[in-house]
Structure 1
Amino acid sequence: MSSSTASAPGRGGTSPAPSRPPGSGTRPRATAVKGSRLAFWVFVTPFLVGLVLFTVVPIVWSTGLSFFEARGTLTPTRFVGLGNFAHFLTDDAFTNSLVTFFVYALFIVPVTMAVSLGLAVLVNGLPRFQAFYRSALFLPVACSYVVGSLVWKLALFSGLPSGVANSALGVFGIAPVSWLGSSPYWWIVLVTVRLWLQVGFYMVLFLAGLQRIPPVLYEAAMLDGVSAGFRRFRYITWPQLRPTVAAVLLLLLVAAFQAFDEFINLVPTNPSTRPPLVYLYNVALGAQRDFGLGSAGALILTAIMVVVALLQTKFFGFSAAEDRTKAPRRRRGGVSA
Structure 2
Amino acid sequence: MAKLYSKMWLDNEEVAAWIFLTPAFIFLGVFLLYPIAYLFYLSFTAGSFTSTGVEWIGFRNYWRLLFNPDFWQVLGNTIYFTVATVILSLVIPLGLAVLLNRSLSLRGLLRSAYFLPSITSLVAAGLGFRWLFQTEGPINQLLDLFGIAPISWLGSSIWAMPVLILLSIWKQLGFNMVVFLAGLQAIPPSRYEAAELDGANSWQQFRHITLPGLRPTLVFAAITTAIFTLRSFEQVYVVTGGGPLNSTNLLVYYIYQEAFGQFDFGYAAAAATILLAIALLLVYLQLRTWGEET
TM surpasses 0.5 = yes
Q: Within 5 Å, which residues of 2 pair with 1:35-114? A: 51-73=28-50, 76-114=53-91
Tell me, what secondary structure is at the counterpart of 1:78?
strand
Tell me, what secondary structure is at the counterpart of 2:290?
coil
Match of 1:318 among 285, 290, 294: 290
Q: Within 5 Å, which residues of 2 pair with 1:10-49? A: none
* Residue 173 of structure 1, CA deviation: 1.0
Match of 2:187 among 213, 218, 221: 213
When normalised by structure 1's length, the TM-score is 0.75
For residue 7 of structure 2, what is the aligned residue in structure 1? none
In 2 relative to 1, CA 82–275 (structure 1 residues): closer, same or farther, beyond 3 Å? same
Amino acid at match of 1:188: P
In 2 relative to 1, CA 103–319 (structure 1 residues): closer, same or farther, beyond 3 Å? same
Cα separation, 2, equivalents of 1:278 and 1:150 = 17
Cα separation, 1, equivalents of 2:292 and 2:181 = 16
Same amino acid, percent of matched pairs: 36
Asked whether the 8 Å contact 1:146–1:261 carries over to 2, the reply is: yes
Farther off after superposition, 70-79 or 272-281: 70-79
Q: Give the number of the structure with larger relative contact order, counting CA–CA contacts within 8 Å between residues 6 or more apart.
A: 2
Tell me, what secondary structure is at the counterpart of 2:276?
helix
Cα separation, 1, equivalents of 2:286 and 2:74 = 21
* Residue 110 of structure 1, CA deviation: 1.1
For residue 334 of structure 1, what is the aligned residue in structure 2? none
Q: Considering fraction of residues, name the structure with more helix.
A: 2
What count of residue pairs does the alignment treat as equivalent?
Answer: 277
- Runs (5+) with no aligned partner, structure 1: 1-30, 324-337
For residue 281 of structure 1, what is the aligned residue in structure 2? 256
Cα deviation, 1:245-272, whole Å, max 9, x if unaligned, reads: 1111111221221111111211115112
In 2 relative to 1, CA 306–52 (structure 1 residues): closer, same or farther, beyond 3 Å? closer
Asked whether the 8 Å contact 1:120–1:203 carries over to 2, the reply is: yes
Farther off after superposition, 299-308 or 88-97: 299-308
* Residue 298 of structure 1, CA deviation: 1.0
Cα deviation, 1:118-159, whole Å, max 9, x if unaligned, reads: 1111111112332222111101111111110101102x1111
Asked whether the 8 Å contact 1:157–1:164 carries over to 2, the reply is: yes
Two-structure CA RMSD over aligned residues (Å): 2.6
- Runs (5+) with no aligned partner, structure 2: 1-9
Cα separation, 2, equivalents of 1:65 and 1:105 = 27
Residue 239 of structure 1 pairs with residue 212 of structure 2 = yes
Bigger-Rg structure (1/2): 1
Cα separation, 1, equivalents of 2:100 and 2:66 = 47
Cα deviation, 1:31-69, whole Å, max 9, x if unaligned, reads: 99xxxx9xx98xx95x77665544333223222222221
When normalised by structure 2's length, the TM-score is 0.85
